[in-house]
Structures are given as structure tokens and as C-alpha cells.
């Protein structure tokens, strides 16, 4: 069921591929299905009661950092002047170069590695922000994830971006999801 929620969330944020990608709707839907499967697998380490919130946080970060671009997904393009890799926009930080570069790739394995590191980093941001103020949560964690220095969006020059991510996460989390979704095709 979590995979269906993840796929539905992705498609609500990015219903079709960008024409600039050269990806058909069918190719995009297949890639989204794989991303949903790998995000689901990547958050299984979390308590069952926390998995949906965490999976949706990863989806929001993937959307904000890459818009699910196949070029970012594959590693062909990097963000932040070449310092951010995979759909999570992850910086190398304390990772070895080999492990960091292993986050890029449109394979199921690389996608899961990217989702796992993204999930682990947003969880650390969540608990750090919660430690500062128990009223804080994922919306503030997105700010710390994106800046590396503050939980308060108003303390950044990108407050609108981080506030938007928080609002997207809140809307996705509050949404009532179907038990299953159709990815097109017969039956």
C-alpha cells in the first residue's frame, strides 16, 4: 500500500514527463513505479507508524531538488554547481566519493541508495529541529536539509522554496489515498 501512496504522490506533483526530457508517458510511468518501489524499500527501516510521513518527505525532496528529471536521476546532471547528486540533491559530506557517486543512477539499486540517504538525512534534520522546538517537524526539517544550517525558513534567502516544500508535504500527508492505483493499460 505504501508504494501506491508514493506513486500517487509523485504523479500528483509531476503528472507527466517534461517535454524536454524526451521520455514518453509510458517510460515516465514505469520509472515512477520503480521510484515508488525503491522509496518504499528505503524507508522500511523506520517504524511502521512513521513510514508514510518519511516516504512523502523523500518524495517532496525529490520533487524539490530534481522534479524527478531522468537526467538528475541517472547522474548525467548534478545540482548545486556539481556538488549535489541524485534526485535527493545530496552533497558528499562524510561519504566516500565512491559511495556518494553510487547514489546516482536510474537503476533500482541506485535509486534505493539515493532514497535511503535522503531519508536518513531528513530524519536527522527532523530530530535536530524537533530538539530545538517540539512544535517543529518535517516542514522545518526541509529547511535544515536544504541549508545545512537552520530549521527556520525565514532565516534563509529561499524561505518561499522551503515553505512550499512544507506545504506540499502537509497536503500530501493529509490526503486520502486509494488502496491501489492504475498506472494505465488494461485491467
> pLDDT 10s digit of each residue in the chain, 187 long?
999 999 999 999 999 999 999 999 999 999 999 999 999 999 999 999 999 999 999 999 999 999 999 999 999 999 998 999 999 999 999 999 999 999 999 999 999 999 999 999 999 999 999 999 999 999 999 999 999 999 999 999 999 999 999 999 999 999 987 654 445 544 4
| 184 part of a folded domain | no
118 domain residue, yes or no:
yes
Q: Is residue 36 part of a domain?
A: yes
Residue 185 falls inside a structural domain: no
Instruction: Tell me if 50 is assigned to some domain.
Output: yes
Residue 118 belongs to domain spanning: 2-174
**CA 42 vs CA 56, 136, 157, 170, 183: distances in Å:** 12, 24, 31, 21, 22
Element (H, E) at 160: helix 159-174
- Please count the structural domains in the chain: 1
- Whether 121 and 57 have beta carbons less than 8 Å apart is answered as no
What CATH number should be reported for the domain holding residue 15? 1.10.530
**Cα→Cα distances 182→7, 29, 31, 40, 187, Å:** 10, 10, 14, 18, 8
Q: Can you tell me the distance from the alpha carbon of 150 to that of 129, in angstroms, rounded to the nearest whole number?
A: 8
The 8 Å CB, 24+ separation contacts for 136-139 are 138/53, 138/57, 138/166, 138/169, 139/163, 139/165, 139/166, 139/167, 139/169, 139/170
Amino acid at each position: 500500500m505504501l508504494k501506491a501512496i508514493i506513486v500517487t504522490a509523485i504523479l500528483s506533483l509531476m503528472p507527466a514527463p517534461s517535454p524536454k526530457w524526451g521520455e514518453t508517458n509510458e517510460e515516465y510511468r514505469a520509472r515512477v513505479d520503480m521510484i515508488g518501489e525503491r522509496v518504499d524499500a528505503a524507508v522500511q527501516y523506520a517504524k511502521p507508524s512513521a513510514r508514510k510521513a518519511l516516504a512523502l518527505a523523500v518524495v517532496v525532496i525529490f520533487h524539490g531538488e530534481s522534479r524527478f528529471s531522468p537526467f538528475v536521476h541517472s547522474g548525467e546532471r548534478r545540482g548545486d554547481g556539481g556538488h549535489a547528486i541524485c534526485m535527493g540533491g545530496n552533497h558528499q559530506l562524510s561519504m566516500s566519493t565512491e559511495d556518494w557517486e553510487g547514489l546516482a543512477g536510474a537503476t533500482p539499486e541506485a535509486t534505493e541508495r539515493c532514497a535511503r540517504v535522503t531519508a536518513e538525512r531528513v530524519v536527522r534534520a527532523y530530530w535536530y529541529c524537533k530538539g530545538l522546538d517540539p512544535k517543529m517537524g518535517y516542514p522545518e526539517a526541509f529547511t535544515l536539509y536544504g541549508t545545512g544550517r537552520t530549521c527556520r525558513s525565514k532565516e534563509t534567502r529561499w524561505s518561499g522554496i522551503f515553505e512550499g516544500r512544507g506545504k506540499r508535504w502537509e497536503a500530501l500527508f493529509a490526503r486520502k489515498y486509494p488502496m491501489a492505483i492504475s498506472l494505465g493499460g488494461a485491467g
